[in-house]
Amino acid sequence: MSHSDLYAEVDRSAYTNALAKSSPITKTFFALSALVLCVAAPTFVPTFIVPILIFILCTILILGIAKVNPRLYLNLLIYPTLMLVLSCIFLALFFGTGDPITQISLPWTTWSIYKSGILMSVHTFFRVEGALSCLFFLVLTTSITDLSLILRRIHVPKVLLEISLLIYRYIFVFLEVTEQMSTAQLMRLGKGGWLKRIRGLALLAGNLFIRSLEQAERTFTAMNARGYDGNIRVLEDFPQPNKMMLILIALFNVLLILVIYTLYLTNFGVL
């Protein structure tokens, strides 16, 4: 799946999933609270259970409840996971304190691998995976329009909201244009060697910049023709949050906090 197709599929999923008509306030509250708990969990050994629970729950909600395409979810998850694995390997091999597990003598130094570095890499992996699942739950089930309405209700400056909406909209446009120009270069044998690739990339970047200026001018003219007065107006008709659902999410958060606190006391021998 190309990048333009992937981003278009993400936007389509936000509008067509089984939870699209649910309250965005409820979904945002769940995603943000789970994200905070996932990131704020202490770093001693048992607490990676909390990010694992959050990852499993968000995955169930995305695939089982929201009915998001599993292939789309996997395509979104695989790239950051690969980068995360490389980062965690780097943490495990080059960071840590205390007594080393093993040491490797090199001509210029001694390379030491520490248990604390390995534990740090494990905690980092599960924390980031849990945080990614929370982020993808919000992105795949809530449209950018609903998110902008929530931000408007908490009095985020209108200028930031309008810029965010326009940037989000034209990410898809410029990805599609970039792919079309790249395909045109390939069909004209513009990528036959390294020098041609470098020249083609420079031409693509220059043309994309010119296209972006032209598109911005056309967009501004079209908005003025439709009565643009400095505000991008959307229909505020999303459903109100279910109070019982908010209470259940709050109880779930309290339960996770109790689990973290119990593991903390157990780890230090208090219980």
What is the pLDDT at residue 60? 92
- Residue-range domain boundaries for the chain: 1-142+242-271, 155-240
Give the model's confidence band at 1: pLDDT under 50 very low, under 70 low, under 90 confident, else very high: low
Average pLDDT over the chain, rounded to whole? 80
Least confident residue range of 42-46, 217-221, 245-249: 42-46
Q: Among 93-97, 139-143, 180-184, which range has the highest average pLDDT? A: 139-143
**pTM of the predicted structure, to 2 decimals:** 0.78
Q: Which residues pair with 41 in a beta bridge?
A: none
What is the pLDDT at residue 3? 57
Above 80 in pLDDT, residue 110? no
Collapsing DSSP to helix, strand or coil, 111 comes out as strand
Three-class SS of 127-157: HHHHHHHHHHHHHHHCCHHHHHHHHHHCCCC
Taking only the tens place, the pLDDT of each residue in 48-78 is 788 888 899 999 999 988 888 888 888 888 8
Q: What is the mean pLDDT of residues 163-173?
A: 77
Contact between 6 and 19 under an 8 Å Cβ cutoff? The reply is no
